[in-house]
Chain A
């Protein structure tokens, strides 16, 4: 009887001592999506977001909360050292750099397709940069705004080079592998029916199954979004024997989104993207940005904050664009580093080239 009693007493003593040491600690605030509760405005919760609110909270917290995917090659994927990389990830780093002058002051919150919108609405993240297609219903009904297009995606087809298929017309009568229950299946039906072409579809629950079926020759083509096709191609036994058709049968503009009701925050996100695009157009890169600071070109001087007060207009410092470009480079660098032809994905610029180089990436000027 004596021994357990002593044990219990010691246990309680240690427990109380432990509790005392841990008392100031609040497990509710330990996570990722929280604002500092000591701030007076954090609890009033009347307005979901008001002008300047988000920037103030981000600055107070000391880092940006960015919602990304749970792993999409080239857009947001963790590498073997646990660092996130990808276009969506780099865009968040650019915003963090524009605000703090330091591209590392950002935390990534991996979100599933289902909980991404809730996370943005509830304020767990400041910006959703997660290969989300900009559609009217999402823009108007879900309570947030898209700030631009970081990647023009669209549904396309992967075929075997040896099959001699060069456009979607050659696919008539063929068998096409895809995933069930996605819009890709719907787009496929729309496209072929409106052109009066016959086709057979072979649907799979998971894209891994679909790509294996394609690899084993059970179908003539595999269809999903073009960016996904390049990623899936790496899983084939001989990637180089396959190619992605240049035909695009649906519009999937992928862009970052922010909560509605904070125009200043929206401007910061929109103009950070525009600054990266303008930087490419003006030839400003992460390497030459410091030399460009003394450039005579008025467009470069305005972009880099040498003339005018464009950064101050959105609540940032004059060097906002310089920091963003230094952190991730211009849009072209960002593209080439994550998905470009030098990466395993090997995606060509295509639609995502600048407007004056045959693409549709067109940013309003900083003026």
Chain B
């Protein structure tokens, strides 16, 4: 069943891709094949494979329980918030909380998770920013 859903989704993606390829505008430069031919080929392969998934699905994969899904979605959401927070609050503060969340969810007690967050954030800041000179996100406080 999962493969069938995946196939339907893939087919929709392929059709969208083919449509998006068909509206590519020509520029003033032209060559024999043009900018649309290769995307058409790619879209066709996508569509054919998706149809195959619908017709001949594999065995059902081992999906996690609903709780597992929630876990993944929350983790992804935290990472997205982290990406947004980087320029707002700076690297050090954002990283403490993002690391603490992930360590906590992987089974560390909350106060140890927070400590891990502080150590990770500080450690990365020292190694990558102060020693190696990488540019990390700067918040309003300058770090």
Do these two chains really belong together in a complex?
A: no
Interface residues of B (CB under 8 A from A): none
